[in-house]
Structure 1
Amino acid sequence: MIRILGADKEKQLLGLFDRGDASAMDRLYAEYADYLAGVCYRYVGNDDDMKDVLQEAFIKIFTRIGSFEYRGRGSLKAWMTRIVVNESLTFLRRNAAAAETPINGDTPDTADDTPATEGIDAATLMGMVARLPEGYRVVFNLFAIEGMSHKEIADELGITPSTSASQFFKAKRMLARMINEYRRKNG
C-alpha cells in the first residue's frame, strides 16, 4: 500500500489515477469524503439527500478525473468542491428549494446581524447554518463561503441580484438570532 504524505498528496493521488492503480478511487474518497460531505451538507441540509447528492458528485469526479488539469496545490480539492456545489445546486433546483423563502415578517429591525462567534465550535455553527431555510442557506453559502457575488448567485440560481442580497441579509439575521439564543442558553 502506497502511503500518501505531505503537500504533494494531490499529485500523488492523480498519479495513481494516471497509472490505473485500483486503489486510486478508494484513496481519493478516504482523503476527501468527509470534507466534501461537509460542503454538500451546507447546501442540502438533509442527511439522506446529502448522501445521494454526494454519491452523484463522486460519480462525476471519478468519471471526469482523467480530464482534470492539475494547477498546483489545492487545485484538485477546489475542483472537487465545485463539482459538489454544482451537484447540490442541481438537486435544489430540481426540488425548487432555492427559490426565495418567505420569513413571515418576523425579522426585527434592530437585530444584531453580526454577533461574535468565538467560543462556538464549528460543528455548532454548521448546525445553525443547516437549520436555515434552504433558499437562505444556499445564498448564504454561495456568498459567505464560496465568495460569489450577488450577480453571480443570481445568474446561478435564476433569481435577481436584489433577491440574492435579500436572502443573504435574512440568512444573517436568522443566524444572528440563533447565535444569540445559543449564547443565552450556554452563556
Structure 2
Amino acid sequence: MSEEELAFRCKREDMNARRVLYERYGGALMAICLRYTGDRDTAEDVLHDGFLHIFESIKQFTYQGSGSLKAWLSRVMVNEALGFLRKRNAQVQQEVLLDEIPDVPDTDDNSLDKIPQAVLMQMIRELPEGYRTVFNLYVFEDKSHKEISSILGITERTSSSQFYRAKSLLIKKINEYRKKESQ
C-alpha cells in the first residue's frame, strides 16, 4: 500500500490501514520518543498518546509527495514528546554541578564512527532531561537556539548553555566509553 493510499485510508478510519501505519512507522516514532524521554516505559506512553493524536488529527494531513507522511508523523510525535516534557515541568531546570562538566576538546568525527549507534543513543538518553531535550531539538530536529527558546519557553542563552552542557557531558561519556573499551 502506497504512503498516499495509507494516509487516505487512515483518514477514512480504516482499522487495517491504522494497523499498517503503526507497523510501518511505529519503530521510527518510538526512536523519537526514546530520544526525548530517555526511558522505554515513558517512551511507550508517549508513543501511545502520540498515535491517538495522529489518528484524531490525520484528517488535517495533506499528502505532498513521497516521505511527507513520515515527516508529518515525526512532527506530531516530537510535539507529543515535548508536550509530555512540559507537563512534567522538569525540563531545562536541572543543573549539573560544574565539576561534572569536563573541560575537554571536542572529539573528532572519526572517533564517533567506532562507537555503536545504540551505545551513542543510550548516552543521549542518559543526559539530564533538559539537556537531552535541547540536544535533540538542535541536533536531530535541526532547530536553531532561537526556535528552541520559542518552543520551550526559555531564553536563547539558556538553550545555548543547555546544548553546551549536553555536548560536554556526551564528550565525557564518550571518553569514558573509549577508555573502558581500550582496557
In 2, the alpha carbon distance for the partners of 1:58 and 1:166 equals: 33
Where in structure 1 do 4 or more consecutive aligned residues deviate above 6 Å? none
- TM-score under structure 1 normalisation? 0.90
Q: Which AA in structure 1 matches 2:19?
A: D
In 2, the alpha carbon distance for the partners of 1:87 and 1:142 equals: 13
- TM-score under structure 2 normalisation? 0.92
Instruction: State yes or no: 1:36 paired with 2:34.
Output: no
Structure 1 counterpart SS, 2:95 = coil
In 1, the alpha carbon distance for the partners of 2:153 and 2:74 equals: 21
| Residue number in structure 1 paired with 2:144 | 149
Q: Which runs of 5+ in 1 are unaligned?
A: none
| Residue number in structure 2 paired with 1:172 | 167
Which among 47, 54, 74 is matched to residue 40 of structure 2? 47
State the Cα distance separating 1:171 from its structure 2 match.
0.5
> Deviation digits for residues 37-70 of structure 1, max 9, x if unmatched?
0001100112221111111100011111122001
Determine which structure has the larger helix proportion and give its number.
Answer: 2
| Residue number in structure 2 paired with 1:186 | 181
Q: Is the 8 A contact 1:100 1:163 kept in 2?
A: no
- How many aligned positions are there? 179
Q: Aligned runs of 1:2-151 on 2, under 5 Å?
A: 4=1, 9-17=2-10, 21-106=14-99, 107-109=101-103, 111-115=104-108, 116-151=111-146
State the Cα distance separating 1:119 from its structure 2 match.
1.7
In 1, the alpha carbon distance for the partners of 2:133 and 2:15 equals: 36
Structure 1 counterpart SS, 2:15 = coil
Q: Which AA in structure 2 matches 1:165?
A: S
In 1, the alpha carbon distance for the partners of 2:165 and 2:178 equals: 20
Percent of matched pairs sharing the same residue: 46
In 2, the alpha carbon distance for the partners of 1:70 and 1:101 equals: 40
Q: Is the 8 A contact 2:10 2:55 kept in 1?
A: no
Q: Is the 8 A contact 1:101 1:134 kept in 2?
A: yes
The 10-residue stretch of structure 1 (84-93 or 94-103) with the greater mean CA deviation from structure 2: 94-103
RMSD: 1.4
Q: Which runs of 5+ in 2 are unaligned?
A: none
